[in-house]
Amino acid sequence: MLKVGIIGASGYTGAELARILSLHPEMELVLATSRQYAGKSLATVYPHLQQYRDVIFEDVELAAMGERVDVVFTAVPHGTAMAAVPVLLAHGVKVVDLSADFRIHDQQTFEKWYCPHTAVALLPEAAYGLCELYRAEVKKARLVANPGCYPTSVLLAVAPLLKNRLIDPATLVVDAKSGASGAGRGAKVGSLYCEVTEGFRAYNIGKHRHTPEIEQEVSLLAGCPVTLSFSPHLLPMSRGILSTIYGVMAAGVTEDDIVSAFDAAYGDEPFVVFRGMDQLPATQEVRGSNRCHIGVVQDRRTGRIVVVSVIDNLVKGAAGQAVQNMNIMCGLPETMGLLQQPLFP
Amino acid sequence: MLKVGIIGASGYTGAELARILSLHPEMELVLATSRQYAGKSLATVYPHLQQYRDVIFEDVELAAMGERVDVVFTAVPHGTAMAAVPVLLAHGVKVVDLSADFRIHDQQTFEKWYCPHTAVALLPEAAYGLCELYRAEVKKARLVANPGCYPTSVLLAVAPLLKNRLIDPATLVVDAKSGASGAGRGAKVGSLYCEVTEGFRAYNIGKHRHTPEIEQEVSLLAGCPVTLSFSPHLLPMSRGILSTIYGVMAAGVTEDDIVSAFDAAYGDEPFVVFRGMDQLPATQEVRGSNRCHIGVVQDRRTGRIVVVSVIDNLVKGAAGQAVQNMNIMCGLPETMGLLQQPLFP
Amino acid sequence: MLKVGIIGASGYTGAELARILSLHPEMELVLATSRQYAGKSLATVYPHLQQYRDVIFEDVELAAMGERVDVVFTAVPHGTAMAAVPVLLAHGVKVVDLSADFRIHDQQTFEKWYCPHTAVALLPEAAYGLCELYRAEVKKARLVANPGCYPTSVLLAVAPLLKNRLIDPATLVVDAKSGASGAGRGAKVGSLYCEVTEGFRAYNIGKHRHTPEIEQEVSLLAGCPVTLSFSPHLLPMSRGILSTIYGVMAAGVTEDDIVSAFDAAYGDEPFVVFRGMDQLPATQEVRGSNRCHIGVVQDRRTGRIVVVSVIDNLVKGAAGQAVQNMNIMCGLPETMGLLQQPLFP
Amino acid sequence: MLKVGIIGASGYTGAELARILSLHPEMELVLATSRQYAGKSLATVYPHLQQYRDVIFEDVELAAMGERVDVVFTAVPHGTAMAAVPVLLAHGVKVVDLSADFRIHDQQTFEKWYCPHTAVALLPEAAYGLCELYRAEVKKARLVANPGCYPTSVLLAVAPLLKNRLIDPATLVVDAKSGASGAGRGAKVGSLYCEVTEGFRAYNIGKHRHTPEIEQEVSLLAGCPVTLSFSPHLLPMSRGILSTIYGVMAAGVTEDDIVSAFDAAYGDEPFVVFRGMDQLPATQEVRGSNRCHIGVVQDRRTGRIVVVSVIDNLVKGAAGQAVQNMNIMCGLPETMGLLQQPLFP
């Protein structure tokens, strides 16, 4: 049984990690940190987590964690994680970092979109934890950068098309929509029920920090530098991301080419389901699960391919994928603890 | 591995049974009936049930089911179940019936509120499947009447008070609120998104068919015939029931009396949590789980006790409790397959 | 054209006042105060109020307001209003106060539930602005205490029954449910979208500050001191209050008695609609309007009368009723500016 | 006072027309047809329309309507309107048709996307009622084709860019999202609360019938035939459309060019607000009003312009724009009866 710590456990991602771990047969949550809620139990702060009446939030020294845990999930903001991770690694702990700090390989790009980087030496060894693309790297890593929620939904959707040269990467437009849990549990006016319900807005068009992360991976898949349009929107719902992705079709592409590309990519994947041509997925059908569903439209009138993908941003877009990565890093079955089914309705 | 059939599997309760069974280590869903969707897979009708791409809805003869299944859940409307159950029992199948047909012991009362009863001979042997109260009866039964969603939320809340004579049963007022999934998946104008969202209404005050079921059990607990006010309301949400129950406190009742009554009743129960005095529960904290959370207020100003209970109407109020009953009937651990955690947010 | 000021204009109630005033033919909003947003236009803080691009939030001295406005709405928290109102009145301004500061006639009761009162001298002259009950008093007043949202919904529902002695006041139970806008625009975790959506909770049972306000008016209507149970709940929606009210029927009461009582009370009222026996109203049908809809059930089985009333808490429960009061105070037609229709769906 | 009839008045659009007309000083609703609800009052079918307790749904002969009304709104499905409109016009009635039947100028295109056309002779004279672009044509028309909801949101957003050649029409991608009221009040499983809430899906990508309508008008604005990608999505909310539109920027376009184009187009329009560069609008801020808000992002990194527009699909996207058109046709002030403010929160 692996002893698990969560740094920054009081946010929605931390709570979701706790929820998933509660049914994991080989991992046990033994340490959860939170400055704000130190001294309170997880069950007090999150009444749905009654099984954690005895796990108390602590405000603990990082150095002291090494002896108490085998593996750690860091669920703190960018900038904070880069300070914690080197200390944890120095104590022999495996880390899945859910912040952005180790996702961008290029220091300059990271610092342009985020902030100065203080753990540059770790950038080369951090594996980018999109398991379906980087399983081998994750297996060998002691540090995995868990992908962003939007990038997960986008990259799983376009990878088969880019790898098989079915789409022109220079024409990519990504129109993405996320539920409100993506903004976290911080008390902000913009996240209030009355501000979000029965409404819909775009935000940060062309400026969202997930843009360079998506471009890095799309460029690697395409084999050339790619710049793309990325427009996030805020949905009046808690969980779920749906990305609609447009690109000009390569010459002569057939429906068979598309189907084959997706079948080859995901036919054996436990968590990615290609729903088929013209089968458009809905976020409801993956809610609460680690799945990604994908549908594709080949629009001959316009010469474009449109891909639609859905994930639960807190599971496959965060906590679930983090556990999936940790399973791989620790030599456990990849799906262990992750077979909770979607909750519908 | 028990072979399981669901009769009337295409509604929300049927889908929820399928979801729960998919992770049950000793039960396997092998037969799902639906007239409307015969020939389609469960995964086609419910895309969140991808694990059931090979289970096809059938419109099957009841008599033919006996050889294919060991146990059956009937999730059909009242009136229909009473025709199916005798056939199934005759073939040696254990049945948990989720309709109202076997919940009311008294034929006359049943027929006053529902319709003529055509399987009266089975009424005496049907166990009322509120496990926490009737575990012994369920264990011995071949037919269990799964309680209604509202009655489950109400009875768990008041049983400790009535048993310990802490409250005057003649003064009981039950103000109950349910999410929209309680109305099922039928295509009715009143269930449309635009009619339900951002709104709230009362319905069937004093006339709801769960009234005699609640009164039957409250009378048994109180040891005398009880008539009570029951007012259901429709919440703008999918899952969840919250019942607020008012009663005049018996003379001299202390806070300790109340706490002791609930601790004694539920201290060892796996699915019922007494949250404590003045700890008011929320439906969110049990969503997707088989739990019931209860909080109590002792209001000395008015001399009343107010109890608030929450359940997920599709789980503890239907499919989850049905599996719990079936586990007991089949000698399996009571919590088997039912440890899915609540989904929050 | 009356010049209008709003003190504390940046909350939801202030914004709703601005919305209503924008179409009022005899009132013009000329002054809106807010410390937090001073210097910003109303249209910047509330993009739906584009007609107010030139009205700028100010952090202004109260004494300086007297010369700029004829009438003022105070939409600040209790405790703050009692400091502002005397200054405004001294400058000859008519005031409708939307806080609780002048609702409770009895100083001791106020101070028990709220805080010390520093403008006790004004308590006797403040009219309780439930127009349908106190129209004559409001007409003569220079200070009106606008009723609380819950009390408005409760008192309109029970007044005809109490006045006509159709119900036993000692048995009253009020189960009330409110949308999230009742909690205001403050950035609190409990008001976040993800905490509120698809969930329902009770709060402050037996302790809510609207209890003494309801009891004061119910006692006056009943002609004797009344203590009652009041249980508020938080609905997953923005606007609307529904109150379900239970009481034991007086001996010999007929359906005609009930219908006559409501017809007599509200037959000529512009904003209160008695929907009829067994016609249960929904909050959706009054959303965005100044209306109150009421339905009644006479439950002979239990001997109780159940009344259900709905209002929009921001309109009839706050800003709309405030304008209605100001119209009366200023000798304008009572419905002026208040005929916006409900928005459905 | 103009006497107004609504054909097909029982749907959401019909109800919204009734709501708007109730406050229109020069129009009076005297005739509302509905086969399904014939004999019931509008207030019975829609309790929010209490002012229409005396207007009864009728199942009336079209020919008989001519003598009772001056103007008619047809709110029936495509195919049905084309049968009714010629009869109405023959009786001297002015008509605003809210169906698609007279929106597409080219018969062949119409029949390819919809159905055979049986009133082809009227196609040339029907004005396309996007008032901001075709005010002069509407003024002279006796038949106005009220634009589709999606096309309204898209065309207002791109017209200034296309007219001023700031964007390459061949690269247009329209990602549009609509609330559930767009699907009408029909009782369909896909429109149920439980299917829509807390979820999001794409539908009819590349196949939606509003595509040829958008392409017709974009082609006219661009001065050349345009094919574009149009992807509708279903939002978990009742009212509102947000369209996000992408196009490659023409060479040398400056921010000033964009701002000037929008200011010139909409500076004097009563219902269209250009919110400014990087000011992204939200559907909440136009809910219940006849407004369209527009924001623009000039993304130099990708060389694209992104426009975001919001409307209330039932008002500016249907009933409100229909009244706006009728005002123009009848020589009334264009904003008459349409100044209801947005409802927020």
Q: What is the predicted pLDDT for the residue at C64? A: 87
Phi, psi of C80 (to 5 degrees): -80, -40
Cα–Cα distance list, D279 to C56, D239, D345 (Å): 19, 21, 20
Assess contact for D149 and D249: CB atoms under 8 A. no
> Mind listing the pLDDT tens digit for each residue in B191-215?
999 999 999 999 999 999 999 999 9
Partner residue facing A341 (CB), from B12, B19, B284: B19
Residues 6+ apart with CB under 8 A from A213: A100, A103, A104, A147, A148, A151
Residues of C with Cβ-Cβ distance to A188 under 8 angstroms: 187
Separation in Å, CA A217 to CA A134, A159, A292, B61, D308: 11, 9, 18, 55, 27
CB contact under 8 A, D344 and C46: yes
Query: Is-contact B56 A284, C-beta < 8 A?
Result: no
Q: Does the pLDDT of residue B61 top 90, yes or no? A: no
Helix (H) or strand (E) holding C211: helix C210-222
One-letter amino acid of B140: K
A35 to chain B, closest Cα gap in Å: 21
How are beta strands B241-248 and B173-178 bridged, if at all? antiparallel
Task: Determine if the peptide bond prior to C77 is cis (ω within 30°).
Answer: no
Residue pair C282/C310 in contact by the 8 Å Cβ criterion: yes
**CA atoms of C179 and C162, how far apart (whole Å):** 27
D89: its two tokens: 């016009």
Q: Where are the beta strands (DSSP E) in D111-240?
A: 127-128, 143-145, 173-178, 201-202, 229-234
Q: Are strands B304-311 and C57-58 parallel, antiparallel or unpaired?
A: unpaired
Q: Of chain C residues 179-198, which have a CB less than 8 A from chain A?
A: 180-181, 185, 187-189, 191-198
Question: Residue D283 and residue A201: Cβ atoms within 8 Å?
Answer: yes
Q: Subunits that touch chain D (at least 3 Cβ pairs < 8 angstroms)? A: A, B, C
Q: What angle do CA D184, D190, D192 make, to 5 degrees?
A: 75
Contact assessment for residue C130 and residue C153, using Cβ atoms and an 8 Å cutoff:
no
Q: Which residue of A has its CA nearest to B315?
A: A343
Instruction: Choose the catalytic residue: D115, D131, D149, D330.
Output: D149
Complex prediction ipTM: 0.97
> Could you say which of B12, B189, B194 has the minimum Cβ distance to residue D194?
B12
**Closest CA–CA distance from residue A195 to any residue of chain D (Å):** 7
Q: What is the mean pLDDT of residues A289-303?
A: 98
Task: Please check whether residue A340 touches B, CB under 8 A.
Answer: yes
Backbone angles phi, psi at A309, to 5 degrees: -130, 150
Chosen from C173, C243, C300, C305 to mutate, greatest number of chain B CBs within 10 A: C173
Residues of B whose CB is below 8 A from C308? 202, 205
Name the phi and psi angles at C276, rounded to 5: 115, 170
Write phi, then psi, for A95 (nearest 5 degrees): -130, 130
Integer Cα distance of A106 and A103 in angstroms: 9
Question: Considering chain A, what percentage of its residues have pLDDT values greater than 70?
Answer: 100
- Among B50, B181, B196, B274, most A C-beta atoms within 10 A, so best to mutate, is B50
Tell me the one-letter amino acid at A59: D
> How far is residue B298 from each of residues B154, B158, B277, measured CA to CA in Å?
17, 14, 8
Residue B331 burial (10 A CB sphere; 0-12, 13-18, 19+): exposed
Cα distance between residue B154 and residue D231, in whole Å: 47
Nearest in space to A210 (alpha carbons), one of A220, A218, A222? A218
pLDDT at D64: 87
d(C-alpha D231, C-alpha D176), whole Å: 6
Whether D184 has a pLDDT exceeding 90, the answer reads yes
Cis amide leading into D345 (omega within 30): yes
Mean pLDDT of chain B: 97
Chain C: nearest CA to B70, how far in angstroms? 37
The contacts of residue B220 (CB under 8 Å, 6+ apart) are: none
Of the candidates B23, B293, B344, the beta carbon closest to that of A339 is on B23
* C-alpha separations of A57 from A37, A42, B36, B224, B242 in Å: 6, 7, 51, 49, 29
**Contacts with C208 (C-beta within 8 Å, 6 or more apart), sequence order:** C150, C230, C232
**Angle formed by the axes of helices D149-163 and D131-140, nearest 10°:** 110
- Cβ of residue C199 closer than 8 Å to a chain B Cβ: yes
Q: Do C343 and D288 touch (CB under 8 A)?
A: yes
The packing angle between helices B149-163 and B131-140, to 10°, is: 110
Q: Cβ–Cβ of A297/D228 closer than 8 Å?
A: no
Residue C63's pLDDT is 84
> DSSP 3-state assignment of A194?
helix
pLDDT higher than threshold 90 for residue C96? yes
Question: Looking at the partner chain, which of A181, A198, A341 has a beta carbon nearest the beta carbon of B345?
Answer: A181
Specify the pairing of strand B127-128 against strand B201-202. unpaired
Q: How many angstroms separate the CA of residue B303 from the nearest CA in chain C?
A: 9
Q: Do A242 and D173 touch (CB under 8 A)?
A: no
Whether B338 contacts chain A with CB within 8 A? no
- Nearest CA distance, B236 vs chain D (angstrom): 8
CA B142 to mean position of chain CA atoms: 18
Does residue D287 sit at the A interface (CB-CB below 8 Å)? yes
Residues in chain C within 8 Å Cβ distance of D289 = 48
Tens of pLDDT along D98-136?
Answer: 999 999 999 999 999 999 999 999 999 999 999 999 999
Report the b/e string of B239-277 with b at 16+ CB within 10 A: bbbbbbbbbbbeeebeeebbbebbeebbeebbbbbbbee
Q: How far apart are CA A24 and CA B124, in angstroms?
A: 43
The answer to whether C107 touches C58, Cβ cutoff 8 Å, is no
For the beta sheet containing B27-33, the strands, ordered from the edge strand earlier in sequence to the opposite edge, are: B57-58, B27-33, B2-7, B71-74, B94-97, B143-145, B127-128
How many whole angstroms separate alpha carbon C104 and alpha carbon C125? 12
Q: Determine the pLDDT at residue A198.
A: 98
- What's the rounded Cα separation, in Å, for the pair D307 and D296? 5
Q: Do you know the residue count of chain A?
A: 345
Give bridge partners of residue D94 from the DSSP assignment: D71
Any idea which residues of C carry the catalytic annotation?
149
What are the structural domains, with CATH classification, of chain D?
2-125 (3.40.50.720), 150-313 (3.30.360.10)
Measured torsion, CA atoms of residues B242, B248, B254, B257, in degrees rounded to the nearest 10: -60
pLDDT at A6 over 90: yes
**pLDDT for D20-45, tens place per residue?**
999 999 999 999 999 999 999 999 99
C29-54 per-position pLDDT tens digit = 999 999 999 999 999 999 999 999 99
Helical packing angle, C320-329 and C12-21, nearest 10°? 50
Chain B contact for D345 (CB, 8 A cutoff)? no
Res D229: pLDDT: 98
pLDDT tens, A114-155? 999 999 999 999 999 999 999 999 999 999 999 999 999 999
Q: Quick check: D66 pLDDT over 90?
A: no
Whether cis (ω within 30° of 0) applies to the bond prior to D47 is: no
Reported as a single tens digit per residue, the pLDDT across A198-247 is 999 999 999 999 999 999 999 999 999 999 999 999 999 999 999 999 99
Interface subset of D 124-153, CB within 8 angstroms of B: none
Q: CB of C281 within 8 Å of any CB in chain B?
A: yes
Residue C78 scores a pLDDT above 90: yes
Contact of C340 with C165, CB cutoff 8 Å? no
Decide if A235 touches D, using CB distance below 8 A.
yes
In angstroms, the separation between the Cα of residue A20 and the nearest Cα of chain B is 8
**How far apart are alpha carbons C184 and D161 in whole angstroms?**
40
Q: Which residues of A are catalytic?
A: 149
Chain C residues with CB-CB distance to D236 below 8 A: none
Side-chain half-sphere CA neighbours of B27 within 13 A: 32
- From B115, B149, B224, B292, the catalytic residue: B149
Residue B63 above 90 pLDDT?
no
Which alpha helices (H) appear in chain B, and where do they start and end? 12-21, 42-45, 62-65, 81-90, 107-113, 131-140, 149-163, 193-196, 210-222, 255-266, 320-329
Radius of gyration over every alpha carbon of chain A, rounded to an integer in angstroms: 20
Q: Which residues contact C331 (CB under 8 A, 6 or more apart)?
A: none
Whether residue D193 and residue B193 make contact (CB cut-off 8 A), yes or no, is yes
Q: Which residues pair with A31 in a beta bridge?
A: A5
Give, in order, the Cα–Cα distances in Å from A260 to each of A272, A303, B47: 15, 19, 22
pLDDT category at D63 given cuts 50, 70, 90 is confident
Identity of the residue in A187, A198, A237 whose CB atom sits nearest the CB atom of C192: A187
CB B37 within 8 A of CB B8: no
Q: Do D289 and C48 touch (CB under 8 A)?
A: yes
Q: For chain D, what percent of residues have pLDDT higher than 90?
A: 97
| Planar angle of CA A195, A198, A202, nearest 5 degrees | 70
Which pLDDT belongs to residue A64? Answer: 87
Amino acid C60: pLDDT: 87
pLDDT at D301: 97
Rounded-to-10 torsion of CA A206, A212, A215, A216: 180
Contact C191 A195 (CB under 8 A): no
Between the CA of residue D334 and those of A290, B140, C344, D135, D271, what are the distances in Å? 53, 76, 24, 10, 10
pLDDT mean over B67-78: 96
- Report yes or no: D22 and D28 within 8 Å, Cβ to Cβ: no
| Partner residue opposite D180 with nearest CB, options B187, B193, B236 | B193
Concatenating the DSSP letter of every residue in C231-252 gives EEEE-SSSS-EEEEEEEEBPTT
3-state helix, strand, coil in chain D (%, to 5): 35, 25, 40
Answer with the residue of higher pLDDT: A60 or D151. Answer: D151
**Residue B44: Cβ within 10 Å count:** 15
pLDDT for D246 equals 98
A36 contact C CB<8A: no
Alpha carbon distance B131, A54 (integer Å): 27
